[in-house]
Amino acid sequence: MFDVARVRSAYPALADGYAYLDGAAGTQVPTTVIDAIADAYRAGLGNVGGAFPASDRSGAIVADCRAAVADLVGGRPEGVVLGPNMTTLTYRFAATLSATWEPGDEIVLSRLDHDADVRPWVQAAARAGATVRWAEVDLPAGELPAEQYGSLVGERTRLVAVSAASNVLGTRPDVATISALAHRAGALVFVDGVHATAHGPVDMAALGADFYATSAYKWCGPHVGAVVVDPSVLTDLLPDKLASSPDEIPDRFETGTAPFADLAGVTAAVEHLAGLDDTATGTRRERLLSSMAAAEAHELALFQRLVDGLAAMPAVTTYGAAQRRTATAYFTVAGHTPRAVAEHLAAHRINVWNGHNYAWELTAALGIRDAGSAVRAGLVHYNDAQDVDRLLEALKQL
């Protein structure tokens, strides 16, 4: 059963009296994650590959972390590439993949996406002489129609990069259909799951993702990113790397020394998510699937309360109304800049984000980027009805 009071009690930061509606920009962490990081340091860590126990402990932490992230997204541990964050990893994969692109090759990007799933590919394509083709967002609904990929993808398409969910509108595109069209043309599919992962069960095979990018700080873990790759795809890729660093996958994609204690925190975050429904049973993957489904149901019920409340305010304009979306509201208030709204809410101890939130192409398409874009109030599993009601009340006092 999903019990939000029980879930909230796991997060010490939530006791500070603020309504944390900024989860889309980064979530709070439960005590188990804090303890896992502290315990790793307390136990003593060494660099990996040494002849002593502290080194073995770090090696085990890395292996456990890969297994946990693989369970979270339905991937394989040997395909889990860990790194500092999604943006850095995406630049790394863009450099690696584009090394074989040629003039006349094409890639397909979407204007729905966070810029981290856009600019690394645009810049890599420019260096290779490849052409960028754009999937457009259907406004005002904020849908990314999958059908358009039928004409966007062709025999020269090398890559399709698309988001599993927009970080501002919450739109969840039909990635499975998009991937099927891409694969029919022989293109690889890179899915940005940074926003989506926190908001429901993930199955990268069902999405058709060759690459699935995620960041643990969006799902109650530390600041660690991961790109989970189909191992058969990874085997063929040769990133720039040091002569002395490992050649095997996935290690050859990871530069430098890993933040071992933080990786222990990532595993603890996955365990925490698996226990959001405390009646869930079975393997960790099975518990993740049912817990994340329960969390999604909780978020969407709360979101309805938020959407209805915002709709009842004549001064509020909301953006996005996709059929399938995460519990992420994006809105403006007439007569107030988004920053002023966020400052007013902060004075009421309510955390929201304001601005383009790096949805660079999308906020331009919406025609709001130059005016400070909008306010984002995003729900995650630890938000409750009181958080939503406080937001609505405070907005009425603007």
Ligand X SMILES: Cc1ncc(COP(=O)(O)O)c(C=O)c1O
Q: Which residues bind ligand X (CB under 6 A)?
A: 85-87, 114, 116-117, 163, 167, 192, 194-195, 215, 225
Q: How far apart are CB 236 and ligand X at their closest, in Å?
A: 25
Q: How far apart are CB 25 and ligand X at their closest, in Å?
A: 6
User: How many CB atoms are located within 10 Å of the residue 297 CB?
Assistant: 13
Q: How far apart are CB 132 and ligand X at their closest, in Å?
A: 18
**Cα–Cα distance measured from residue 46 to residue 63, given in angstroms and rounded to the nearest whole number:** 15
**Cα–Cα distance measured from residue 115 to residue 87, given in angstroms and rounded to the nearest whole number:** 9
Q: How far apart are CB 382 and ligand X at their closest, in Å?
A: 18
Q: Which lies closer to ligand X via its Cβ, residue 76 or residue 356?
A: 356
Instruction: Please name the residues in contact with 256: beta carbons below 8 A apart, sequence gap of 6 or more.
Output: none
**Cα–Cα distance measured from residue 227 to residue 359, given in angstroms and rounded to the nearest whole number:** 20
C-alpha pair distances (Å), 386 with each of 141, 191, 333, 390:
28, 34, 21, 6
Q: How far apart are CB 24 and ligand X at their closest, in Å?
A: 6
Alpha carbon 143 to its chain's center:
18
Q: Which lies closer to ligand X via its Cβ, residue 178 or residue 395?
A: 178
Q: How far apart are CB 89 and ligand X at their closest, in Å?
A: 8
Q: Which lies closer to ligand X via its Cβ, residue 87 or residue 98?
A: 87
Q: How far apart are CB 193 and ligand X at their closest, in Å?
A: 8
**Cα–Cα distance measured from residue 268 to residue 359, given in angstroms and rounded to the nearest whole number:** 30
**Cα–Cα distance measured from residue 86 to residue 81, given in angstroms and rounded to the nearest whole number:** 10
Q: Which lies closer to ligand X via its Cβ, residue 98 or residue 167?
A: 167
**Cα–Cα distance measured from residue 284 to residue 305, given in angstroms and rounded to the nearest whole number:** 32
Q: Which lies closer to ligand X via its Cβ, residue 92 or residue 195?
A: 195
Q: Which lies closer to ligand X via its Cβ, residue 142 or residue 309?
A: 142
Q: Which lies closer to ligand X via its Cβ, residue 143 or residue 192?
A: 192
Q: How far apart are CB 225 and ligand X at their closest, in Å?
A: 5
Q: Which lies closer to ligand X via its Cβ, residue 224 or residue 316?
A: 224
